[in-house]
Amino acid sequence: MTLLTDLPVSGNGQPVGASQLDVAADFPILARPVHGRRLAYLDNGATTQKPLAVIEAERRFYLESNANIHRGVHWLSQHATELYNAARATVQRFINAAHADEIVFTRGTTEAINLVAQSWGRAELRAGDEILVTTMEHHSNIVPWQLLCEQTGAVLKVVPVSEAGELDLAAFDALLNHRTQLVAITHVSNALGSINPVAELTARAHAAGAVVLVDGAQAVAHQAVDVQAIGCDFYAFSGHKLYGPTGIGALYGRRSILNAMPPWQGGGDMIRTVSFERSTYAEPPQRFEAGTPNIAGAIGLAAAIDYVREVGIERIAAHEHALLEYATAAVDAIRGVRLVGTAQHKAGILSFLVDGIHPHDLGTILDAEGVAIRAGHHCAMPLMTRFGIPGTARASLAMYNTRADIDALVAAIDKAQDLFGTRNHG
């Protein structure tokens, strides 16, 4: 990987912004053609591609280190346990948690949020308590709370968003009250790219006596995250949106709050003693990791974090920010295109509609051109309802994307308008 500066001005004369990363060679899949065309992979909000370092780390684990953890007296088991614990410490450093035991490995963001709902939520919430979410949440930060509300009689309250896709902070303040037990907010909107001021929101929520969970699924790969600076009680993210494997993610939980939480799944690895009269449970994080975990996945995730740190999260953020500006200008300049989500602070997500072409049709036509995007409601149906649309087309960026990918996107939209005969719309 090299840092390229002084890149030539691109074809349409856009000035070159921040320095460009040149990391595509580290991601072998990007070299495979799709439909005979160069792949422009712009569906990173769904999942990112994996660098060789991650693929190799998983492979090496199975080749050289595989054994179950926490139970073997034999060398391989101890070795695997050390690697697993080291992976936990890598996650801890990555998000600047104070202690490694504040990191619980999960299957991903969804499981992390469900863990909090079913462990903390069922123990703490009573009928009439309130959970505050926002209109821009992913279904995985809505439905677990709805299930919890059904179980406890708690009530879900929703902070609205503006036409630009920004949180209504006055409404947030107005909705916070002494009944608010939990504020569950996304760090970055997966459908719009809006970045929420989570540190500020956490401070206000804490002042009202509420616990705060931040859904970091769309944030950790795109900007530096410091859970102590945010001050939140829980922070959830997935490995596979961070260049790591699927099936692994992490929940950060403040030590004092994790210590007080009951287990949510029972099984091996999470107990201290078991008898038929009564079992006692291990300390966190083991208390929340029943059964054999995704050991290779955790090691793969650590390799992904090492890779991201090597490239530099600040450089990734700067690169994606410049590319988003380039993409926003290029797509917005197309006649008949409407951007959805124009918040002042955005991470690498560009949602849009093309006049006269349903997002699903657009997705098919772009795919034929080798351009991979997501079309649909992005698991954020309440947000689509808010904007009165069935869905959007979404291009989402990663560190390996370049202006060539954006140029391919723009050319493919042009082709779709040709095919549909809608060039003169708008």
Partner 1 sequence: MNDTGPDLRELYQEVIFDHNRQPRNYRPMPEADHQADGHNPLCGDQLTVFLRIEDGVVKDVSFVGHGCAISTASASLMTEAIKGKPVAEVEALFHDFHALLTETPPPERDFGKLAVLAGVREFPVRVKCATLAWHTLHNAIVGAQDPARTE
What does the binding site for partner 1 look like in residue numbers (CB under 8 A)? 33, 35-37, 357-361, 364-365, 368-370, 375-377, 381, 384, 390-391, 419-421
The active-site residue, picked from 313, 379, 397, 409, is: 379
Residue whose CB is less far from partner 1, 301 or 379:
379
Residue whose CB is less far from partner 1, 245 or 391:
391
Residue whose CB is less far from partner 1, 161 or 393:
393
Closest approach of partner 1 to the CB of residue 412, in Å: 11
Which three-class secondary structure state does DSSP give residue 248? Answer: coil
- Cα–Cα distance for residue pair 10/83, rounded to 1 Å: 45
Closest approach of partner 1 to the CB of residue 36, in Å: 5
- Cα–Cα distance for residue pair 242/328, rounded to 1 Å: 23
DSSP one-letter string for 379-422: T-HHHHHHHT-S-EEEEE--TT--HHHHHHHHHHHHHHHHHHT-
Which three-class secondary structure state does DSSP give residue 259? Answer: helix
Residue whose CB is less far from partner 1, 151 or 364:
364
The answer to whether the beta carbons of residues 377 and 391 sit under 8 Å apart is yes
Sequence-separated (6 or more) residues with CB below 8 Å from residue 289: 104, 105, 269, 270
Residue whose CB is less far from partner 1, 30 or 366:
366
Closest approach of partner 1 to the CB of residue 356, in Å: 8
Closest approach of partner 1 to the CB of residue 178, in Å: 38
- Cα–Cα distance for residue pair 258/261, rounded to 1 Å: 5
CA dihedral 230, 235, 233, 346 (to 10 degrees): 30
Sequence-separated (6 or more) residues with CB below 8 Å from residue 130: 154, 155, 156, 157, 177, 179, 180, 181
Closest approach of partner 1 to the CB of residue 218, in Å: 20
Which three-class secondary structure state does DSSP give residue 190? Answer: coil
DSSP state of 141: G
Rg of the chain taking only CA atoms, in angstroms = 22
Closest approach of partner 1 to the CB of residue 390, in Å: 4
How far is the first Cα of the chain from the last one, in angstroms, to the nearest whole number?
42
- Cα–Cα distance for residue pair 364/416, rounded to 1 Å: 9
Residue whose CB is less far from partner 1, 58 or 369:
369
Residue whose CB is less far from partner 1, 72 or 382:
382
Q: How many Cβ atoms are within 10 Å of 126's Cβ, its own excluded?
A: 10
Query: CB-hemisphere CA count at 13 Å for 211?
Result: 20
Residue 149 annotated among the catalytic residues of the structure:
no
Sequence-separated (6 or more) residues with CB below 8 Å from residue 251: 103, 104, 106, 112, 115, 116, 234, 235, 236, 288
Closest approach of partner 1 to the CB of residue 117, in Å: 22
Closest approach of partner 1 to the CB of residue 134, in Å: 21
Residue whose CB is less far from partner 1, 269 or 414:
414
Q: Which residues are catalytic?
A: 379
